[in-house]
Chain A
Amino acid sequence: MSQAATMPIEERAPEPGLGIYNLKLGIWIFLLSEVMFFTALIGSYVILRFAHPDHFAAPGEVLNVPLTAVNTFILICSSVTMVKAYAAIEKDDQKGLKQWLLATIVLGSTFVGVQVYEYIHLVNDGFVPDAQAYVESGLAGGPLYSSTFYLMTGFHGVHVALGVGALIFILIKAMRGAYSSQRLGGVEGVGLYWHFVDLVWIVLFTIVYLI
């Protein structure tokens, strides 16, 4: 995210090599490790799907695409509220920071809530990672479908839940006046993480629900 011209040396001094300050460099390196993590998951899913097409169902046959499309839209909305929070504190708008952070928390929590709701319905329908139970459910596909589905969406869901926790932490600090246009590294770091989680979901939604 942007580096304000007025940033204090102690928090946002650019690292000599890359020209960005250390906190941001650390977040980016962490996110790159996350890219590889999710790539491994997606790669495994693609291999399994090609190798065992009989274990997977057509889009919408088992999974609730309309519900998840709405949930994806909610996560996209949370990205814009997050970036608005950052833009607010860049202008020293404390009220704006808190309002947009709160909106992001509400949207992020809604995303997790809808995902839990979806899981409950799927499990009730017999979409479980257990061969016997899956066969008895009469659903299209096989247990490999449910196993990979819960692994990928579950890991992402945990990332969103952790992100909501980090946002709550940031909001509490914001309420204590910890951030300003001179000191906004925390907001920027959590923001980068949040946008990354949104970015990953855009890809996951396509691969798991639409293809």
Chain B
Amino acid sequence: MQHGESAHPPYMMIWVVLAVLMFAKVGVSLVDMGRGMSIALLVLISLVSAVLVALYYMHLRFEPKKLWILAALPLPLIAILILTVIQEFR
């Protein structure tokens, strides 16, 4: 949080959302909706959960924008890794 900002994020609300998302993932893995759709949904839910933790529990949302840039530095490298893996199996 920036100087002078005293209100905390809704920690308990985030916790409930994370728990619901976690059990939703288990539900998705049990439902037969096709492997591609299932993987896409699971990855999406995981990304949303991870972003919630980073933004609210690690307080990234309230940090200076320069830290956002620093935190995003590995993302291009992760993208390269994913693209390389996809190329491998085309």
Contact = CB atoms under 8 A, between A and B. Distances in A.
B37 interface: no
Given A80-B11, A87-B8, A28 B42 contact: no
Interface residues of B, dominant DSSP: helix
Interface residues of A, number: 48
Given A43-B85, A76-B22, A83-B57, A3 B2 contact: yes
Contacts of A192: 58
Contacts of A84: 11
Nearest to A76: B18
B73 interface: yes
Contact of B1 (A3, A29, A32, A35): A3
A69 B22 contact: yes
A72 interface: yes
Interface of A: 1-3, 5, 17-20, 28-29, 32, 35-36, 39-40, 43, 46-47, 50-51, 59-60, 65-66, 69, 72-73, 76-77, 79-80, 82-84, 87, 90, 192, 195-196, 198-199, 202-203, 205-206, 209-211
Interface of B: 1-5, 8, 11-12, 14-15, 18-19, 22-23, 25-26, 28-29, 38-39, 42-43, 45-46, 49-50, 53-54, 57-59, 62-64, 66-67, 70-71, 73-74, 77-78, 81-82, 85, 88-89
